Amino acid sequence: MTHRPSPWQLAVVPYTLELRQRFTLANSSRTTTPTLLVALRRDGICGYGEAAMPPYLGETQAGAAAFLTSLDLRSFDDPFATAALLAAVDRHAPGQPAAKAAFDLALHDWLGKRLGQPWHRLLGLDRATTPPTSYTIGIHPPDVARELAAAMHGRFRSFKIKLGGPTDRAMVEAIRTATDTPLRVDVNQGWIDREAALREVEWLAARGVQFVEQPMPKERLDDLAWLTRHSPLPILADEGCQRLADLRRIPGVYHGIVVKLMKATGLREARTMLETARALGLSTMLGCMTETSCAIAAATQLAPLADWVDLDGALLVANDPFVGPVLQDGVVAATDGPGIGAAPVADLFAG
Ligand code: MG
């Protein structure tokens, strides 16, 4: 029996994100998002990662911390053996996609720093082709939504608005009195009747909406396929497409998918999802949770692979503990920094 020490040191710190606005979706409402910050150290290099866990998705800070601290990294001598290492992390327990993403991000950050390069360069991507990000407006009373849209007008090239509440059309009309910025719509499974859903999509199409995300419950494959066949706008799967294997069910049911690091277990699988979706003729959006500039920085490394981008998560947070990419001309693009391109504002992992 061997008792050799692990070449890796892993530290985890629970952190609660305070949101600038109450965030209300079709089926939930909150003012904070729990996250778990991760530092992975070896050979004097520190890689950072994050597990952002909106409560309705079921992961917890305690569960993610238990998952990560129970990983046995002693057998992984070669830090570049990422395929085997990340496969072992995935097999360690079912589920826990955000916890797995935290490790994946920290490992990618460590490797990029070891090589002295940001990941968009290691992947051969041109960050100048990063699509502009949308800014998310939750479900609000119409006058509040109008004020938010007016305050952000000119800073963003599209707004993503959450529908599936009682005042959908009034909210869209109120926003349209403040701005002609293109809109995207996310219903978070909130519409139940497909004929009524089609009428809403047709109404939205006449008001400068680019696409509709998850209009109906993800289990309603027949209704979603019918809606996709009849819809004048692209219909995207978010809740209905979590990981790579879910892509089998997408063609014919949706026009495209929303990829998020926290669903896809990190950069490795998210990149494969974006490339596979494109090969299947599906459109793609790279999205996020409310999360820190750590996870947003990681996502920006893949952003040139996506048709649309929604990486405003850190902009919705009042107490971001990382410095990363900033909004410029409506775009949140990867930085020059090695790895994922984010740094903590203080020593979060001291003590
Ligand atoms: Mg969504």
- pLDDT at position 3: 67
Is 106:49 a contact under the CB 8 Å cutoff?
Answer: yes
Amino acid at 283: S
Centre of ligand 1 to C-alpha 236, Å, is 9
Centre of ligand 1 to C-alpha 289, Å, is 9
Query: Binning pLDDT at 50, 70 and 90, where does residue 229 land?
Result: very high
Q: Which residues surround ligand 1, an ion (CB under 5 A)?
A: 186, 213, 238
Centre of ligand 1 to C-alpha 290, Å, is 11
Is 325:296 a contact under the CB 8 Å cutoff?
Answer: yes
Centre of ligand 1 to C-alpha 237, Å, is 8
Dihedral angle computed from the Cα positions of residues 296, 255, 272 and 113, in that order, rounded to the nearest 10 degrees: -20
Using the structure block, give the residue that is written with the tokens 């409506």: 330
- pLDDT at position 351: 55
Is 118:334 a contact under the CB 8 Å cutoff?
Answer: yes
Q: pLDDT tens digits for 111-126?
A: 999 999 999 999 999 9
Tokens found for residue 1: 């029996």
- pLDDT at position 168: 95
**Kind and range of the H or E element at 322?**
strand 322-323
pLDDT above 80 (res 253):
yes
pLDDT above 60 (res 69):
yes
Q: pLDDT tens digits for 333-350?
A: 999 999 999 999 988 887
pLDDT above 70 (res 209):
yes
Tokens found for residue 108: 């990618």
Is 123:108 a contact under the CB 8 Å cutoff?
Answer: no
Percent pLDDT > 90 in the chain is 93
- pLDDT at position 346: 84
Instruction: Quote the radius of gyration of the chain (alpha carbons, Å).
Output: 20
DSSP tag of 345: S
Q: pLDDT tens digits for 279-305?
A: 999 999 999 999 999 999 999 999 999
Range 15-44 average pLDDT: 94
Average pLDDT over all residues of the chain: 96
Centre of ligand 1 to C-alpha 232, Å, is 19
- pLDDT at position 345: 92
Query: Binning pLDDT at 50, 70 and 90, where does residue 2 land?
Result: low
- CA-angle at 241, arms to 171 and 212, nearest 5°: 25
Query: Binning pLDDT at 50, 70 and 90, where does residue 165 land?
Result: confident
